[in-house]
Structure 1
Amino acid sequence: MCNLYHHSLDNRAIFDTLSQASLKLDEASRARNFAPDYTGADQDGPVIISDGTGAKIETMRWGFPAVGDGKRPITNIRNLDSRWWQNVNGAYLKEPEYRCLVSFDRFAEWDKVSKGNAWFKTTGDAPSFFAGIWRPWTGERLKAVEGKKRRQRETDEWRLYAFLTTEPNSIVAPIHPKAMPVILTDPHECGEWLAGGVGSLRIQRPLPGDALELIEQRD
């Protein structure tokens, strides 16, 4: 599963993409400066959310609450019919206020053969997004603490995100045969996803093979 990706947000490109979906990126988000960076599991990353009439960029923590003590946060979501979704997180799956887009320019899948990360990117020039979901949560997570070199576990109120996965296409399958992220590059599908609803779950499908390329075999 994908537990590492790189983003280099081009606010102008995101503004243009959302505009085609009849969503206006707010002025505060357009003015924010996000330096290119990697985001890993249980780290903070920028996500795009909709307020019904427009869109904005917020920073949230990657990884839904773990199932059981000592387990890792859930970064990738595949089985939407599971009890975990229907009984625990179902309220966040369909409502538009909890939908998000996660901007990226490349993502990694672990390559067991080379013992390193294989990196993938979409072809073409259109911005790329993971189809994401977020939720509020109160609990204990790692947090930067003044005077400490390493993050400490502290209880706080968090906004957590994860993104959908699906069966892999012909490009990802040789490296990771179980799943790949759900990727959106079409502005209208981005708008459809942010609008929520059961019908938009059709978007949980692999990107065509010719729309994705392997760019690095090892990190």
Structure 2
Amino acid sequence: MIPMCNLYEHRVSISEASETLRQIGLELDAKSRARNYEPDYTGADSDGPVILSDGNTASVETMRWGFPGIPPKDEKKRPKPITNIRNLNSGWWKNVNGEFLREPEFRCLVPFHRFAEPDKVNGGNAWFRTTVAEPSFFAGIWRPWEGERLKSVEGRKRRQWLPDDWRLYAFMTTEPNEVVAPIHPKAMPVILTDPDECAEWLSGGADSLRLQRPYPADQMELMER
């Protein structure tokens, strides 16, 4: 597997997700309870499961990972999807996507089992996970978007650039903790495992941005290769 930052593995247990949501007063809808997600990897500009809420019920939906990127100066090149969000004071975020951070409608939880960071010393990927009982979530935001993205086409081995109405997601990052920093000193995802914090994130609003902080190092591990 190619070493990369934008890679994580999800193992979505509907029963575990339902229990976590039930603790915060949300019932997973019947359609989501009937779905089965096989363990899989999600990379940038690929699809992954996310959990949405309307305040009363919750659902598991499939969306595309990566917000619309900043157009490059070379018009022949396509913008790279923005998968992770850290600097909330950037013009790109405040002026283009700010509304999607404020409103609870656009908050989401991104379930994951482990995430990768490139190991420049030993080569390959270093994998991290929480040591608490699953499920673990990234603090996510989603938005609708119309435009061209890579899409599977029947009879073609490679995905093709095609226009569509997309639902895109990204998740917050923050300073790395003591476990992640030796491998990736730049940042780590914002991780939520406590049901009350999941509820706070989904509720939206500026106060919930306090959750943009490193996950406790004593509840995380660097997995053996």
Question: If the TM-score is normalised by the length of the shorter chain, which range does it land in?
Answer: over 0.9
Q: Give the AA of the match of 2:162.
A: E
Task: Work out which of the residue numbers 11, 17, 28 in structure 2 matches 1:14.
Answer: 17
Instruction: List, as ranges, runs of 4+ consecutive aligned residues in structure 1 with deviation greater than 6 Å.
Output: none
Give distance in 2, aligned partners of 1:49 and 1:124: 23
Q: Is the 8 A contact 1:23 1:191 kept in 2?
A: no
Q: Could you give the per-residue CA deviations for residues 141-188 of structure 1, whole angstroms, max 9, x where no partner exists?
A: 000011111100011110000000000000000000010000000011
Greater shift, 147-156 or 208-217, is seen at 208-217
- The 5 A counterparts of 1:26-45 are 26-45=29-48
Give distance in 1, aligned partners of 2:116 and 2:25: 31
Name the SS for the 2:126 alignment partner: strand
Partner residue in 2 for 1:74? 82
Aligned length: 217
Partner residue in 1 for 2:75? none
Query: CA RMSD for the aligned pairs?
Result: 1.0
TM-score scaled by structure 2? 0.94
Name the SS for the 2:141 alignment partner: strand
Q: Name structure 1 gaps, 5 residues minimum.
A: none
Partner residue in 1 for 2:131? 123
Q: Could you give the per-residue CA deviations for residues 43-69 of structure 1, whole angstroms, max 9, x where no partner exists?
A: 000000011211100000000001014
1:160 correspondence with 2:160: no
Q: Name structure 2 gaps, 5 residues minimum.
A: 73-77
Give distance in 1, aligned partners of 2:197 and 2:24: 8
Partner residue in 2 for 1:181? 189
Q: Could you give the per-residue CA deviations for residues 92-132 of structure 1, whole angstroms, max 9, x where no partner exists?
A: 01101100000001000111112210000100213100000
Name the SS for the 1:216 alignment partner: coil
TM-score scaled by structure 1? 0.97
Q: Is the 8 A contact 2:68 2:79 kept in 1?
A: no
Give distance in 1, aligned partners of 2:30 and 2:164: 29
Between the two proteins, what is the percent identity of the paired residues? 68
Q: Give the AA of the match of 1:38.
A: Y
Partner residue in 1 for 2:66? 63
